[in-house]
Amino acid sequence: MEVREFAHGKMALDHWEVEGIRLRHAQVSFNREDVFVGGNDRDTVRLHFGLKGDYDFHARELGTSYSLRGDHNNIMYAEGLQLEIHNRSSHIETFGVEFTKDRFFQIAEKGNEPLKLLADQIAEGKAAILSSHWRPNTLRIKQLISEIIHCDFTEPLRSLFLQAKSIELLVLQADLYAKKLERAYIRRDQDKKKLFDARDILSQRLDGPPTISALSRMVGMNEYKLKKGFKELFDTTIFGFIHQHRMQKARQLLLDTSMSAKEIAYETGYSSPQHFSRAFKKEFNTTPNRMRNTPDNAM
């Protein structure tokens, strides 16, 4: 990990390179709000993922500005991309994947309509962005990024793993942006913030999540708007979100720790080990013990 200091903070940076692909994980801490300029002059297609933190940025080459809250993604292209960034949080975490144009074209020509339209613009030499509507990261996208960051394979398997996961991230984004955007029920930034706050509360309290009634009071939003807005913004229900995150947390604990299945059951909020085992087998089509003993099959 590389650490860089600058006038108003510091950045911890991890980066990897495989054939035609660059990956970059950045965690930036600020001691004040500021505006700074970043970017590069590489002629690449960039998958951008905001993981934590709020910030505004202006992309000169794209001729547009965005105000973003942590947990979002999009795909951008410019022959050299310079960003003017105004941090709204003391900590920002991002993840990026850059494909060379040739590598991107190889994938996009077999992709769906959003990818092909983006590839057409890039082929014409135009600066382009996949969509003006940034989408929240799905649970699977976040899981993939975590797998890349914590990859412990050695070469040559490491390079194969990073290539496969990078392409999978691109596929997930293409599928996400192919879904038709209906007329938004949640339009105000204030309401979006409340929904992100609700999601963060649920993520932090998987072992004992609040009821919908309690959650609505905690974020200051009525229950109907909370449920409808949550489904619209995160493409899952509140109960679906809790279940998915419990399962993914359980999976990671099985693979990364020595905790017993019983301990993991209570850690993830299940009332009994038996209830946990049934839910786990239904989700992953295997038992907790089998997944722990054959982790390669769980990828």
The residues facing 21 across adjacent strands are: 18, 99
pLDDT at 166: 96
pLDDT at 298: 45
pLDDT at 182: 55
Where the chain has pLDDT below 70, the residues are: 180-184, 294-299
pLDDT at 226: 94
pLDDT at 180: 64
Q: What is the pLDDT of residues 247-261, one digit of tens each?
A: 988 988 988 888 999
* Angle subtended at Cα 234 by Cα 272 and Cα 288, rounded to the nearest 5 degrees: 30
Domain 2-178 in CATH 3.40.50.300: no
CATH code, 189-298: 1.10.10.60
Q: What residue segments make up the domains of the chain, in order of their start?
A: 2-178, 189-298
Chain-centroid distance, C-alpha 139: 7
pLDDT at 183: 58
198-204 long-range contacts, CB within 8 A, separation 24+: 198/226, 198/230, 198/238, 199/230, 199/234, 199/241, 202/238, 202/241, 202/242, 202/245, 203/245
Name residue, tokens 């930034």.
189
